[in-house]
Amino acid sequence: MRAHPPAVIPVGDPRRPLIGRAAFGTLLVSAAFFLFTATKQMKPVYVHAPWLNDPYDTVFSFTMFFVPLVAGILVVQVSLCRKSEPLPVARVVNVLRGCRVAVGAIMVELLTAWVSVAVGANRSDWTGDATGLLLALLVLCTTATSRVIADLHRAPRFPSPDATPTTASPDWLADAVTVARRESRWLGPLRRPVLMVLDGADRTVVRTVRRHPLGAAVASSATFAVTVFGWQSLREGYSPALTVLSLGLGFCGMFAFLVLAGSYLGVVRSQNPLHGVPRRLLDASVVGSIVAIAALAFRDSLWWIVGSDTTAAGAARLATMVGGGCLAAFALVLVAETLLRSHPRSAH
C-alpha cells in the first residue's frame, strides 16, 4: 500500500528557510510593484510612460489591482505559519501558489512594459525626468522580481493539497476568520463585540459564499467594476454608452481573475463543485471574459473586424467588436467542451 507524504513540515526542517525566503520576497516585490503601478495616478509623470497606451495600459490597469489582491491573500496565509510550530504541507502549498500567481502577474506587466520600451511606444512624450524615473522603477522591479523567481525555483515541491485527504486544509476564508479572531486581542474592550460580529459573519456570510462561490465571484466582480471603473467613468466624463462598456470590461477582467486565481489558491472550497453543463458554461464565460479584455487591448489592430479604423470608430463599434469576440469565444468553448463531454459528473 502506497504511503501518503507527511502532512506537516517539522520545526528545523531545512526546507523551511527556502519557503520563507520565497514568501517574504514575494511580499516585498509586490510592495515595490504597487509603488510602480501607483505612478498611474501621477498624471504629470504617467503621460510620459512608454506603456501609456494600449495594449500596454490594459495590462498595467488590471495587474495594479490583481497583484495587491493576491498579496493580501498571501499575507493572511503567511501570518498563520509560525516559526516555532510545524507547518501544514497544505498551507505551504497554498502559500507557494500565491507566490507564483503574484510573481506571474508581475512578470506579465514587466514584460509588457519592456516591450513598450523596446518598440519606442509613446516616444514623442518621453522626457529625461519623468520617463527616466519610470524606467528606474521598472529596472528596480525587474531586478527584485528576478531574485524572487530564483527563490521560487529553489523552493521545495509538494503534492497538491487536494491530491490526498491527508493534506486537506481550510480554505482562505477560514484562515481570514482565524487571523481576524487572533488579531482582535489588540482591540481591548472592543474585542468581545468584534468577536461576536466575526462569529455572525462566519455563520452567515462565509457559509453563503461557500455554498455559492460563483455568485460571490459575480457580486465581487460587479462591486469592483462599479467602484473602480464607475468612478473612473465619472471622473473622466465618459458618455453613458462608454460607461456601460467600461463597467462590463471591468467586470470581465475581475471575474476571470477571481475564478481562475481563486480556484488555484483555494480561496473558497465549495462542497458542491460544478460538473457537466454548469461547469462548461463557467469555462466558456471565463474564456469569453478574457477575450473581451484582449479585444480591448488590441482594438487598434482589430477595427477591421467591424469595418472601421482608429479615427472613425466610437463606443458603438468598440462594443460590437468586444461583445462579438466575447460571444464567439463563449460559443466556441461551450460547443467544444460539449462535444468532448468535458467535466462529467463523478459516478461516486
The per-residue pLDDT for range 94-138, each reduced to its tens digit, is 999 999 999 999 999 999 999 999 999 999 999 999 999 999 999
C-alpha–C-alpha distance, residues 112 and 129, integer Å: 22
The per-residue pLDDT for range 137-162, each reduced to its tens digit, is 999 999 999 999 999 999 999 877 55
The SS3 assignment for 88 reads strand
Instruction: Name 137's Cβ contacts closer than 8 Å, sequence gap at least 6.
Output: 35, 36, 39
Confidence of residue 165 (pLDDT cuts 50, 70, 90): very low
DSSP secondary structure letters along 109-126: HHHHHHHHHHTTTTGGG-
pLDDT for residue 42 is more than 90: yes
The pLDDT of residue 167? 44
Given a contact cutoff of 8 angstroms between Cβ atoms, the answer to whether 268 and 305 are in contact is: no
Given a contact cutoff of 8 angstroms between Cβ atoms, the answer to whether 90 and 161 are in contact is: yes
The pLDDT of residue 1? 42
The SS3 assignment for 87 reads strand
The pLDDT of residue 63? 97
**Cell numbers at 62, concatenated:** 488590471
C-alpha–C-alpha distance, residues 60 and 40, integer Å: 9
Instruction: Name 49's Cβ contacts closer than 8 Å, sequence gap at least 6.
Output: 39, 116, 122, 130, 131, 134
C-alpha–C-alpha distance, residues 227 and 233, integer Å: 10
Exposed/middle/buried for 310, CB within 10 Å: 0-12, 13-18, 19+? exposed
The pLDDT of residue 310? 83
C-alpha–C-alpha distance, residues 238 and 233, integer Å: 5
pLDDT for residue 192 is more than 50: yes
Residue 340: count other Cβ atoms within 10 Å of its Cβ.
9
pLDDT for residue 264 is more than 90: yes
C-alpha–C-alpha distance, residues 98 and 130, integer Å: 33
Task: Calculate mean pLDDT across residues 18-29.
Answer: 97
Q: Is the dihedral of CA 231, 233, 239, 245 positive or negative?
A: negative
The pLDDT of residue 257? 97
How is residue 204 annotated by DSSP? I
Query: Which of 333-341's residues contact partners 24+ apart within 8 Å by CB, and which partners?
Result: 333/280, 333/283, 333/284, 333/287, 333/288, 334/280, 334/281, 334/283, 334/284, 337/280, 337/283, 337/284, 338/277, 338/280
The pLDDT of residue 166? 43
Report the percentage of the chain scoring pLDDT > 70. Answer: 95
- Find, among 221, 346, 232, the residue nearest to 279 by Cα: 346
